Amino acid sequence: MPAGRYAPSPSGELHLGNLRTGMLAWLFARSTERAFLLRFEDLDLARTVAGSEDQQFDDLQAMGLTFDAQDGADRTRQSERMDLYGAAIGQLQHAELTYECFCSRREIHEAARAPHAPTGTYPGTCRYLSQEERRRRRAERPAAVRLRAPRSETGAATRFSVEDVLLGRITTEVDDFVVQRNDGTPAYNLAVVVDDHLTGVDQVVRGDDLAPSAPSQAYLRGLLYDPQAAAEVQYAHVPLVLNVEGRRLAKRDGAVTRAALQEQGIDAAALRDLLLISLGLPAGPLAQALESFDPKALPGDAWVFQPPNS
């Protein structure tokens, strides 16, 4: 069965921007007769907070989200799927579509790159190292693994596009992005692609800060699996919630989580209604909002939230 998903990182409490994105992901999935899956992205152990998984789950349920079971469980957890990521990285290595990268973050930042290359793109330093050079560098520091992305004869990166229901066509360069970090952890871009594919996800709804990664992920999905299926994934990158200064809402902005709002007298139903109204949808149970849900009628701009008593 085709599926949508919500994939939070269990790094603390969800704030109302996260809850709003989760509600939208549910509305998109259910309005298109898809299953809806929950996946905890807990590969970054340093950021994972004990107990936040159950708390996030409860908060999402309190908003009215329902999830479909996967192998008898109501959620998946990336930390339990390491074999699958290892297999995918092995598949790329076997096809000689990767190379070892020894660069530090600082070296990447300081390296000369082509004019107009988007910031954050990898300048290609380790792409053409000789065997000898690689041997020498391995003794100095552990290597990350990068995708050997296609280049034209002149060395230019390939551009790749996806269609987004809300943003239209998103086109970015497919960079030599990291598929395995130098501590051996699978990279976010790799894990997302493996999970989405293997759990039947063909609809990706998430915050629009992640829109620039969609073309690279779609490209990788086609490379690892079926290009046709990869091209049919539906994307919707939704506007974020901002604080009064116009910056992306964060927990430090005050009463922005379900628990903190509850203390201010705003219970779960009132919070759900606040979020629905911000989306131009009727207050009330989510199942009712589903009846009038129309992606084309969603507000195109970010929503600015001022916490009570701030």
* 222 near ligand GLU (CB under 6 A): no
Helix, strand, coil % in the chain, rounded to nearest 5:
40, 20, 40
Cβ proximity to ligand GLU: between 48 and 98 the closer is 48
Dig out the tokens for 287 from the structure.
């199942």
Cβ proximity to ligand GLU: between 197 and 206 the closer is 206
In the 8-state DSSP scheme, what is residue 81?
-
Beta-bridged to residue 230, according to DSSP, are none
Cβ proximity to ligand GLU: between 8 and 123 the closer is 8
* 175 near ligand GLU (CB under 6 A): no
Measured from the CB of residue 210, what is the shortest distance to ligand GLU in angstroms? 6
Tell me the residue type at 196: D
* 192 near ligand GLU (CB under 6 A): yes
Among 4, 9, 67, 101, binds ligand GLU (CB under 6 A): 9
Q: Specify the stretch interacting with ligand GLU by CB under 6 A; choose among 3-11, 28-36, 56-64, 98-106.
A: 3-11
* 206 near ligand GLU (CB under 6 A): yes
Burial 123-139 (b: 16+ CB within 10 A, else e): bbbbeebeeeeeeebee
Separation between Cα atoms, residue 301 and residue 240, nearest integer Å: 8
Cβ proximity to ligand GLU: between 236 and 279 the closer is 236
* 177 CB neighbour count, 10 Å cutoff: 20
- Three-state DSSP at 118 gives coil
Cβ proximity to ligand GLU: between 9 and 203 the closer is 9
Sheet holding 144-147, edge to edge: 98-101, 144-147, 178-180
Sheet holding 35-40, edge to edge: 3-6, 35-40, 76-77
Binding string, residues 27-66; x marks residues near ligand GLU by CB under 6 A: --------------x-------------------------
Q: Note the residues at the interface with ligand GLU (CB under 6 A).
A: 7-9, 41, 192, 206, 210
